[in-house]
Amino acid sequence: MFAFIGILLGVALGFLIPITYPPGFSLYISVAILAALDSVFGAFRASLEEKFDIEIFVSGFFGNTILAVVLAYIGDKLGVPLYYAAIFAFGGRLFQNLAVIRRIAIHRLRVARGVSKTARSQRK
């Protein structure tokens, strides 16, 4: 419940506080947001699997975000698109975590309704 309130508060503050940044930082910001979202979805998945650890979440959130920005920066200075590594790694994990979250949610809905996978296959 606290996580949901925190997300709503963060989104509201994001819309209310006018923060701007130079267009040259857009690559770094987008990669940082992708890394942060990967950590949030991973934390949500871990919470559903009852494996959530706040220390792992915080270290992964900041560590992944900083690593993604540093990779993008170094690649930008070298003229090599290293940010693609962050996009593929975090983007892939983001979709993987979303798929697992979806499966857990569907399973819990079926259990709540009293419909199991075997009961559905017997009705066909």
* 36-49: pLDDT as tens digits: 999 999 999 999 99
Distances (CA, A) of 124 to 13, 108, 117, 119, 121: 50, 22, 12, 9, 6
Note the pLDDT of residue 100. Answer: 95
**Average pLDDT, rounded, for the chain:** 88
Asked whether the beta carbons of 22 and 16 are under 8 A apart, the reply is no
Q: pTM for this one?
A: 0.76
Note the pLDDT of residue 99. Answer: 95
Flag residues of the chain having pLDDT under 70.
1, 3, 116-124
Burial class (CB in 10 A: 0-12, 13-18, 19+), 35: buried
